[in-house]
């Protein structure tokens, strides 16, 4: 087999490993993906009629405070100065999101100062004062009090995860900032922006190296192809970024994932909602949010005759669906521990990325974790013969 390393999956984790292994370590890399394109879920393409860039697997916003990751991604693309802001439409009224002083004052029809708003939320969250909530429901109430939680979080989360918020980890909601100022930026990170000439141009540049052989429409579990699991494991080191349960043929049971159905529509108007993302937190609306892609690139000269919108519906993934988000219930966490043990026993196979570690990873986290895997596992193996045992799943 004329390759030094097989990378399964060409998402940002696989791309980062492949790029570093080829450019920095001089290895010959074969990267396979079962999809007809590279880039994983960050892939985008221009909608045919309008030319508007559409993120095929749901809207992707790049943001990071990790200087190493920022320097690394800037080798492959420049970023626009886009700053993400989200609005949410509750009972016929539009509020700024994440919850900030503007949201609080609009919701309570008030003009509270930051101190007054804090005091109000403290009272409303009083039922959970002094506790350390481990589940999303209690954490949400503790952060913003019950009335705001019930308006903006409870049903949105219910629709998005189809799991009782009491069974979801508190960490999901901790991702969303709550601010006692009028700052309505969605992210707190130092760096933020969108790739100037689109995600796909960025992702393709990462793989553009003579030592990287990309094979699309190639499934790791298809034994008829050269780089299948049966053909390569034990022969060549492998970095696997597909679902960890699938790798072990679901031996410890299925991990639960959430998938999303994206309904795209081209409308013959210039502007549908005046912003890139509108959330729908009410129970009687079946989708969670609507994206309008033209607003991600106000600097581009898009047509004024039409716009592209995408409604996002969330549901549990069945076999055959794309596994997007780990649900991560306590049962899942037990199964994951069992899979980690199995992964520890798998020599010369490293597990990484959102699917391979069953972790909610943003793009910058997937890239950062891939850079660490190269530093800590792959480089020592190829430069000084350190054994390539993962120490399990990259945890
Ligand atoms: P992926 O991109 O999922 O890549 C895995 C690849 O493995 C896929 O291409 C898949 O086809 C391939 N694969 C799987 N099984 C096999 C197999 N058997 N054989 C061959 N190939 C296989 N991050 C942000 O930073 N900002 C955002 O706004 C954001 N929004 C998101 C919205 C959605 C709906 C989703 C799902 C994710 C979002 N993310 C966002 C996260 C971002 O997509 C991930 O961080 C990133 O994709 C992680 O890269 P990865 O390589 O781990 O996984
Ligand atoms: N969330 C919510 N209401 C909102 C936005 C977010 O309840 O209007 C909760 C929901 O549980 C979601 C989590 O906050 O899963 C994280 O939101 P984020 O927008 O980061 O989710 P993602 O874009 O990754 O799906």
Per-residue pLDDT of the chain (395 residues; tens, 9 = 90+): 899 999 999 999 999 999 999 999 999 999 999 999 999 999 999 999 999 999 999 999 999 999 999 999 999 999 999 999 999 999 999 999 999 999 999 999 999 999 999 999 999 888 887 888 889 999 999 999 999 999 999 999 999 988 888 888 888 888 778 899 999 999 989 999 999 999 999 999 999 999 999 999 999 999 999 999 999 999 999 999 999 999 999 999 999 999 999 999 999 999 999 999 999 999 999 999 999 999 999 999 999 999 999 999 999 998 889 899 888 888 999 999 999 999 999 989 999 999 999 998 999 999 999 999 999 999 999 999 998 877 644 44
Nearest CA to ligand 1 atom 47: 41
Nearest CA to ligand 2 atom 14: 173
Determine whether the shortest distance from the Cβ of 229 to ligand 1 is under 6 A: no
Q: Given phi > 0 = left and psi -120 to 50 = alpha, else beta, which region is 171? A: alpha
Domain ranges of the chain: 5-82+192-253+327-384, 97-172
Q: Are strands 307-316 and 257-267 parallel, antiparallel or unpaired?
A: antiparallel
Domains 5-82+192-253+327-384 and 97-172 share a fold: no
Determine whether the shortest distance from the Cβ of 38 to ligand 1 is under 6 A: no
For tokens 């997937």, the residue is: 366
Lookup: tokens for 20: 């570093």
Mapping DSSP to helix (H, G, I), strand (E, B) and coil, where does residue 159 land?
helix
**Calpha distance 165→321 (Å, rounded):** 23
Determine whether the shortest distance from the Cβ of 162 to ligand 2 is under 6 A: no
Other CB atoms within a 10 A radius of the CB of residue 349 amount to: 22
Long-range Cβ pairs for the range 319-322 (8 Å, 24+): 319/254, 321/257, 321/259, 322/57, 322/259
Cα distances from 99 to residues 124, 186, 212, 379, 384, in angstroms, run 15, 10, 45, 44, 51
CATH hierarchy code of domain 97-172:
1.10.3110
The secondary element (H helix, E strand) that includes residue 29 is strand 29-32
**Calpha distance 369→383 (Å, rounded):** 20
Q: Which ligand is nearest to the CA of 154?
A: 2
Residues 6+ apart with CB under 8 A from 5: 17, 18, 21, 27, 28, 29, 30, 236, 237, 238, 239, 378
Query: Rounded to the nearest whole angstrom, what is the distance from the C-alpha of residue 240 to the centroid of ligand 1?
Result: 13
ipTM of predicted complex: 0.96
Active-site residues: which are they? 175, 179, 258, 289, 312, 360, 362
Determine whether the shortest distance from the Cβ of 9 to ligand 1 is under 6 A: yes
The pick from 35, 363, 373, 394 for probing ligand 1's pocket by mutation, whose C-beta has the most ligand atoms within 8 angstroms, reads 363
**Closest ligand 1 atom to the C-alpha of 57?**
34
The pick from 153, 174, 275, 278 for probing ligand 2's pocket by mutation, whose C-beta has the most ligand atoms within 8 angstroms, reads 153
Nearest CA to ligand 2 atom 2: 153
**Closest ligand 2 atom to the C-alpha of 154?**
7
Q: Which ligand is nearest to the CA of 15?
A: 1
Give pLDDT, residue 140.
92
Q: Which ligand is nearest to the CA of 63?
A: 1
**Closest ligand 2 atom to the C-alpha of 157?**
11
Determine whether the shortest distance from the Cβ of 323 to ligand 2 is under 6 A: no
Query: Rounded to the nearest whole angstrom, what is the distance from the C-alpha of residue 358 to the centroid of ligand 1?
Result: 11
Query: Rounded to the nearest whole angstrom, what is the distance from the C-alpha of residue 165 to the centroid of ligand 1?
Result: 24
**Calpha distance 212→208 (Å, rounded):** 7
CB 99 within 8 A of CB 153: no
Lookup: tokens for 93: 């009224």
The structural architecture, per CATH, of the domain 5-82+192-253+327-384 is 3-Layer(aba) Sandwich (3.40)
The pick from 173, 262, 364 for probing ligand 2's pocket by mutation, whose C-beta has the most ligand atoms within 8 angstroms, reads 173
Cα distances from 176 to residues 98, 139, 173, in angstroms, run 7, 12, 6
Give pLDDT, residue 391.
61
Other CB atoms within a 10 A radius of the CB of residue 292 amount to: 21
Other CB atoms within a 10 A radius of the CB of residue 103 amount to: 25
**Calpha distance 266→248 (Å, rounded):** 41
Residues 6+ apart with CB under 8 A from 120: 104, 108, 112, 145
**Closest ligand 2 atom to the C-alpha of 160?**
15
- Of the CA atoms within 13 Å of residue 116, those in its CB half-sphere come to 8
Query: Rounded to the nearest whole angstrom, what is the distance from the C-alpha of residue 239 to the centroid of ligand 1?
Result: 15
**Calpha distance 58→61 (Å, rounded):** 10
Using CA atoms in the order 52, 53, 57, 62, what is the torsion angle rounded to 10 degrees? -140
The pick from 204, 223, 241, 372 for probing ligand 1's pocket by mutation, whose C-beta has the most ligand atoms within 8 angstroms, reads 241
Q: Which ligand is nearest to the CA of 59?
A: 1
């Amino acid at each position: 087999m004329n390759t030094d390393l097989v990378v399964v999956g060409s998402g940002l984790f696989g791309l980062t490993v492949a790029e570093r292994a080829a450019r920095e370590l001089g290895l010959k890399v074969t990267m396979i993906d079962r999809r007809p394109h590279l880039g994983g879920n960050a892939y985008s393409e221009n909608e045919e009629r309008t030319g508007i860039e559409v993120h095929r697997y749901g809207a992707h916003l790049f943001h990071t405070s990790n200087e190493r990751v920022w320097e690394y991604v800037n080798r492959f693309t420049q970023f626009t100065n886009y700053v993400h802001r989200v609005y949410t439409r509750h009972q016929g009224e539009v509020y700024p999101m994440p919850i900030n002083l503007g949201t609080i004052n609009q919701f309570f029809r008030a003009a509270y100062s930051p101190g007054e708003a804090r005091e109000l939320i403290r009272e409303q969250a009083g039922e959970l004062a002094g506790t350390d909530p481990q589940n999303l429901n209690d954490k949400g109430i503790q952060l913003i009090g019950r009335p705001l939680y019930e308006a903006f979080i409870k049903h949105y989360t219910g629709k998005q995860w189809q799991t009782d918020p009491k069974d979801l980890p508190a960490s999901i909601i901790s991702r969303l900032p709550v601010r006692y100022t009028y700052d309505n930026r969605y992210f707190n990170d130092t760096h933020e922006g969108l790739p100037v000439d689109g995600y796909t141009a960025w992702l393709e540049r990462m793989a553009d190296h003579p030592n990287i052989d990309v094979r699309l429409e190639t499934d790791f579990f298809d034994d008829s192809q050269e780089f299948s699991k049966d053909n390569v494991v034990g022969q060549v080191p492998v970095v696997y970024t597909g679902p960890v349960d699938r790798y072990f043929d679901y031996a410890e049971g299925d991990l639960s994932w959430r998938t999303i159905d994206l309904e795209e529509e081209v409308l013959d108007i210039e502007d549908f909602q005046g912003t890139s993302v509108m959330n729908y937190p009410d129970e009687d609306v079946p989708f969670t949010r609507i994206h309008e892609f033209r607003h991600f690139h106000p600097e581009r000269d898009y047509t004024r005759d039409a716009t592209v919108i995408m409604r996002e519906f969330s549901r549990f993934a069945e076999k055959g669906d794309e596994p997007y988000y780990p649900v991560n219930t306590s049962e899942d966490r037990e199964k994951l521990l069992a899979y980690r043990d199995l992964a520890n026993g798998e020599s010369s196979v490293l597990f990484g990325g959102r699917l391979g570690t069953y972790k909610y990873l943003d793009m910058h986290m997937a890239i950062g974790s891939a850079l660490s895997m190269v530093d800590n596992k792959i480089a020592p193996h190829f430069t000084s013969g350190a054994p390539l045992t993962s120490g399990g799943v990259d945890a």
